A and B are shown apart, each in its own frame.
Chain A
Amino acid sequence: MSRTSSEAQLIARCRQGDVEAFETLIAAYEKKVLSTAYAMLGNHEDASDAAQEVFLKLFASIDKFGEQSSFSTWLYRVTVNVCYDELRKRKYRSENTVSLTPDETGESAQLQLADKNAGPLELAEQAELRDALRRAIASLGEQYRTVIILREIQGLEYQQIADILHCSLGTVKSRMSRARRMLADKLIKNKELFR
């Protein structure tokens, strides 16, 4: 992935310890890191802590950032690794994810605000679907959860996902196929969601 000249300049300034340059650099990625961490860890607080840890790690090792990959690939790679560490540290269990209980101050309210034209029933259905999806994602293994989040939530290309996860393109495709089938199987059980 090519790096824009402005991004390259910001990275160069970051290497000199310029905090302002770093904050400018990560401004476009804050939401992405937060949402990825939220999808991986299942709650707001953990996601916020993980996101700050990601940015601090990036700042601390910005001078070691090479030209082999794009900044976003590196950023996502660090994000996934921080989330993996957090999951292992807290022995996170899918059946006990906080995401089972939707964060009412977060996403649900945002959905309601985003889709003003939707009726209450539609909003409820959407909320129910998203809850079901979050539960389903949380129930996936780390490998399948990661590819689903990076592909479906972050919209990354297969090759970039392969670069982030240090695996082959075929592995990404295989995991995607498997993850979608598992999610679909879980959702099909809730037949009312697929009318």
Chain B
Amino acid sequence: MLSCNKVSKLLSQYYDGQLNADMCKQIAEHLDWCDACQRELEAIRAVSEGLKGLCEIEPSKEFAASLHTRLLQAAREKRESEAAGAALWFYRIPAWLRDWRVYSAAAACLLALFVLGNDISKNNYSDSPPTAPFLDNAQNYKSDPAQASVSEGAGTVQDKSGNGTGNNAPAAQNTDKPPVTGGALPKGNPNSQITPQTQTGAGNGGELPYQEPDAAQSYPTAPSNDTGVANQDEEDGYAAAALPAQEPGTQRSPGAAQKSAAQTAEPIQQPETPALILAEPSGSAADSALAVSPEPAGTGGRTGASLSASTAPVASPAKPSLFFKAADSAVFAAAEALARDYGSVSYRGNVMIVKVANDKFDDFLKALGALKGLSPEQPDATGLPNGSDDDGDGFQYVEISLE
């Protein structure tokens, strides 16, 4: 049963037929016994009836004549203003802008810029920050840097094909310090960085940050590493691989390493001491990202098992780190070239990690110091100790990033 208050609010719509059948029925039932609401409805009806036809006015002849005159005048003024506006609009433009030759010249410039831009973009490297100048897609890597092919799509260390498709090289893990910050490489992503010496045409399991269009011109040749061993590291059983992600402060546990997507799973042997976990050479030279020799037993746990990037955290004592920031890609490339002269290079994301033997470290630092555009930097905020810690393994580390 509706209340009078409710009915009162709905009477106007009830009168206009704006309510549904059910509501109309309820209101009608209410009006049957409620005199007050009935009177209110009658008042609404009286008002409505009384307003019908109220204020009706017939337009007078004077009204029509006056309106006609004003409309003609308005039409004439409209035509004149449109004509004047069009002319005025054109002549408001400065004379030199009205000259067709200006637009022809502008069109020619735009066309030239477009063609030039197209041409430049074709020669551009990937958009990712440059890391190693000649780092090539692992699959295309050749022993001779000159043979290193440049392929577009060499991406960042964070390989897009994280599932390892096309990147079938096993991920090598550097169990030595510095440990890799978490997320440097996606899980399952094999090492995305290979030293040029890790040739054999093996893929590194990951796209390289960028590629040198002419590796022979830019990259130092591998120092007498024609055996397929990339560098001194490899001779020692190390692979200059990008370090896998790891928990800060945790001991790198090769046992926790995961297989790269490109490799069949094989448990990683626990190294007795922090050491590089070598990527097991795959059957195909073109597949292996790291042509490293298996670590002999007892040498610190270097195994040939392949690891994904996200394996085996390594703890390192926190010591002052050596970080450098390159002002631009040219400086970065120069720093990499120097690094390869003195040691081995790997990448953690866009950060170059240089591993240099102790006896060459001072010279390396001097060479870096002479490089213009390279400035010392603060350690990153990952919390993981990186840098030139000397843990007794005979090597020190430097990290170089691009501004």
| Contact yes or no, B12 A153, CB < 8 A | no
Which one of A19, A30, A137 has the greatest number of beta carbons of chain B within 10 Å? A19
Tell me the minimal C-beta distance from A145 to chain B in angstroms: 11
Tell me the minimal C-beta distance from B39 to chain A in angstroms: 8
Residue A118, interface by CB 8 Å: no
A187 to B47, CA, bound (A): 8
A19-43: CB near B (< 8 Å → 1, else 0) gives 1001100000011001110110000
Q: Which residues of B contact A31 (CB under 8 A)?
A: 56-59
A149 to B53, CA, bound (A): 10
Q: Which residues of A contact B55 (CB under 8 A)?
A: 35-36, 38-39, 107, 134, 149, 153
Segment at the interface with B among A52-60, A66-74, A81-89: A52-60
Residue A130, interface by CB 8 Å: yes
Residue B96, interface by CB 8 Å: no
B59-99: CB near A (< 8 Å → 1, else 0) gives 11001101110111011001100000000000000000000
Tell me the minimal C-beta distance from B81 to chain A in angstroms: 10
Residue B366, interface by CB 8 Å: no
B37-65: CB near A (< 8 Å → 1, else 0) gives 00010111011101111111111100110
Residue A133, interface by CB 8 Å: yes
Residue A96, interface by CB 8 Å: no
| Contact yes or no, B51 A19, CB < 8 A | no
Number of interface residues, chain A, beta carbon within 8 A: 46
Closest to A55 in B: B67
Closest to A17 in B: B75
Closest to B19 in A: A173
The B378-400 residues at the A interface (CB cut-off 8 A) are none
| Contact yes or no, B56 A35, CB < 8 A | yes
| Contact yes or no, B78 A60, CB < 8 A | yes
Q: Which residues of A contact B47 (CB under 8 A)?
A: 133, 152, 180, 183-184, 187
Partner of A176, one of B16, B50, B72: B16
A59 to B71, CA, bound (A): 8
- A187 in contact with B46 given A19-B72, A52-B63 (CB within 8 Å): yes
Tell me the minimal C-beta distance from A39 to chain B in angstroms: 4
Partner of B54, one of A22, A60, A130, A177: A130
Residue B18, interface by CB 8 Å: yes
A146-187: CB near B (< 8 Å → 1, else 0) gives 001101110000100000000000000100110011011001
* Interchain residue pairs with CB less than 8 A apart (24): A35-B55, A35-B57, A36-B55, A44-B57, A48-B60, A48-B63, A52-B67, A55-B67, A60-B74, A107-B55, A110-B56, A130-B50, A130-B54, A133-B51, A148-B51, A152-B47, A152-B51, A153-B53, A158-B18, A176-B13, A180-B15, A181-B40, A184-B40, A188-B43
B-to-A contact residues, CB < 8 Å:
8-13, 15-16, 18, 40, 42-44, 46-48, 50-60, 63-64, 66-68, 70-72, 74-75, 78-79
A-to-B contact residues, CB < 8 Å:
17, 19, 22-23, 30-31, 34-36, 38-39, 44, 47-48, 51-52, 55-56, 59-60, 106-107, 110, 114, 129-130, 133-134, 137, 148-149, 151-153, 158, 173, 176-177, 180-181, 183-184, 187-188, 193-194
